[in-house]
A and B are shown apart, each in its own frame.
Chain A
Amino acid sequence: MKIDVEGDTLRISGIKELSAANSGAFRDWVRGNIQDGQKNIEVDLSQAGFIDSSGLGALVSLHRVACGRKGILRLVKPLPPVQQILELTRMHSIFEIIKA
């Protein structure tokens, strides 16, 4: 996974999956890298083929971090299986999603 900064946005890319095995570490890694002045978190899901409820929990955590900074969590290009889980759990109405 990779983190880039652009202005007030922290961008995370290269995610292959978000599951119970890695979601806690992912959440802590992103939270540990956000700096003062960064309020938005952008998560590129274009390579993520799988997400479970633990992965959703990590995204909720990052959403709360962004909201606490008066910013937003943005999910970029989720693949169809991930988009379906977001819709099934109605999280698509909570997160900003940029579709492919």
Chain B
Amino acid sequence: MPDSSPPTQGAALRLALACDFEEVRRTADTVRTFLTGQGCSSADVMDCDLALVEACNNAIEYAPAAARKQAILLEAVCRPEEIELRITDHTAGFDLPRSPALPNPDCETGRGLFLIQKLMHQVDYVRGHEGNTLTLRKRRAQSLRGKVLA
């Protein structure tokens, strides 16, 4: 039976994701199970789940052919006050917009970063030689979805 009490120092989960859309949901399920086991609220877990899926989809979508054999690295850290998700990709990187806008309603793409920003409290992206890292932070026990809908 998983321990559902919040950690005092923080608990971490590290995973490697193959560069394949088919693997994203399964990996996200593992993170969701981890966060639930750490006592995160279902609303927080759902928000993190979708944000993580969107981040992984982008990391796969924009990976150049040469990088497709490299795994995308995921780290989830659960602290009493916040959840932190780190996704290290091997794309050419991008400039993270301060506040992504929604595309025209007829556009079939372009909503991923918007969703990530809406669901998380803080989003940072750092480019590096060994990969680029997207860091998502969410304060616990509060659903931004609930705030939006209120």
Interface residues of A (CB under 8 A from B): 17, 19-21, 50, 52-54, 56-58, 60-61, 63-64, 81, 84-85, 87-91, 94
> Among the listed A19, A57, A84, A87, which residue makes an inter-chain contact with B108, where contact means beta carbons less than 8 Å apart?
A57
Given A53-B57, A56-B111, A84-B145, A17:B25 Cβ within 8 A: yes
- Are A90 and B102 closer than 8 Å at their CB atoms? yes
Given A52-B53, A53-B54, A85-B50, A60:B145 Cβ within 8 A: no
Interface residues of B (CB under 8 A from A): 21-22, 24-25, 46, 49-50, 53-54, 57, 60-61, 102, 105-112, 114-115, 118-119, 145, 148-149
- Least CB distance from B98 to A in Å reads 19
Query: Total A-B residue pairs with C-beta atoms closer than 8 Å?
Result: 66
- Are B149 and A61 closer than 8 Å at their CB atoms? no
- Least CB distance from A83 to B in Å reads 9
- Are B22 and A94 closer than 8 Å at their CB atoms? no
- Are A19 and B118 closer than 8 Å at their CB atoms? no
